[in-house]
Amino acid sequence: MSQRVVLITGALTGIGRAAALGFARAGHAVVISGRHEETGEALAAELRDLGAEAAFIRADVRREAEVAGLVDQVVARFGRLDAAINNAGTEGRPGPVTEQDAESYAATFDTNVLGTLLSMKHELRVMLARGSGSIVNISSTYGHDGAGGASVYSASKHAVEGLTRSAAIEVAATGVRVNAVAPGPTDTGMLDRFTGTAERKAGLTAGVPMRRVGEPGEIANAILFLASDQASFTTGQVLSVDGGKSAA
């Protein structure tokens, strides 16, 4: 097929879902991945209603066999992989450093860091063989700033930025690009779980220079740009989409 094919992990909610809708509207074939069969099939049907070719493939990004199988199934079904959005992520168990332990570390790092690493490994296997492709990882404002009360999450997103830059350098001469988008507070289930109360959400919003949180579609727009040929000379970059938070 000549249509561009995009794979999105953690695609069933929030930013991933908005990106899936955006790629479908832009004429891509969209493979959405996640852990919930029913929600996944429903979103795939919604994408097909927009005129896109779409498929749901179940995978937990912490498991290498599932990630390898996911990428293999994309290629078997669609024949190519042009863009991959490594969006699956978790806020883990927020709280002060003194309350963290090996379990809370693994609950965050296994998805955010190992998941991104395994996803890139298998996506690159396909993209390098073809000599083209674009990977967009999802970091966070906390991926380059400290975050009291969210140290492990912040550390995991720092790791995502390190992985992004390192992988980008490794493959830069091959025609494959690797970038990241770093959202500020964005109106998704994760933000609601992370803040817990309306007061804490309002407090976080007050710290954004634009005085509002982002909409998932606003993050998706930046993801679409980095994935596209419009960003053909851009690699190893982290694009902040955060209402001015990282400029403050």
Ligand X SMILES: NC(=O)c1ccc[n+]([C@@H]2O[C@H](COP(=O)([O-])OP(=O)(O)OC[C@H]3O[C@@H](n4cnc5c(N)ncnc54)[C@H](OP(=O)(O)O)[C@@H]3O)[C@@H](O)[C@H]2O)c1
Q: Is 137 helix (H, G, I), strand (E, B) or coil?
A: strand
* Footprint of ligand X on 122-161 (CB under 6 A): 138, 140
Annotated catalytic residue 153: yes
Contact window for ligand X (CB under 6 A) among 94-102, 162-170, 183-191, 223-231 = 183-191
DSSP letter at 213 equals P
Instruction: Report d(CA 116, CA 61) in Å as an integer.
Output: 8
Residues in contact with 26: Cβ distance below 8 Å, sequence separation at least 6, in sequence order:
224
Q: Output the smallest distance, CB 11 to ligand X, in A.
A: 7
Based on the shown chain and the rule CB under 6 A, indicate whether residue 35 belongs to the binding site for ligand X. Answer: yes
Q: How many residues bind ligand X (CB under 6 A)?
A: 28
- Environment class of residue 175 by beta-carbon count within 10 Å: exposed (0-12), middle (13-18) or buried (19+)? middle
The interaxial angle of helices 102-109 and 151-171, nearest 10 deg, is: 40
Q: Which stretch binds ligand X (CB under 6 A): 33-41, 73-81, 169-177, 231-239?
A: 33-41
Which among 75-83, 118-126, 161-169, 185-193 is the span making contact with ligand X, rule CB under 6 A? 185-193
Greatest C-alpha distance within the chain: 53
121 forms part of the interface with ligand X (CB under 6 A): no
Q: Give the angle subtended at the CA of 61 by the CAs of 223 and 26, to the nearest 5°.
A: 25
Using the contact rule CB under 6 A, the part of the chain among 20-28, 69-77, 184-192, 223-231 near ligand X is 184-192
User: Strand, helix or coil at 138?
Assistant: strand
Identify the active-site residue in 153, 154, 157, 178.
153
236 phi/psi in degrees, rounded to 5: 75, 20
Q: x/- binding map, residues 63-102, to ligand X, per CB under 6 A?
A: ------------------------xxxx------------
**Contact (Cβ atoms closer than 8 angstroms) between residue 13 and residue 36:** no
Which of 62, 122, 177, 245 touches ligand X by CB under 6 A?
62
35 in helix, strand or coil?
Answer: coil
CB of 96 to ligand X, least distance (A): 20
Give me the active site residues, please. Answer: 153
Which residues would be at the binding site for ligand X (CB under 6 A)?
A: 9-10, 12-16, 34-36, 60-62, 87-90, 111, 115, 138, 140, 183, 185-186, 188-191
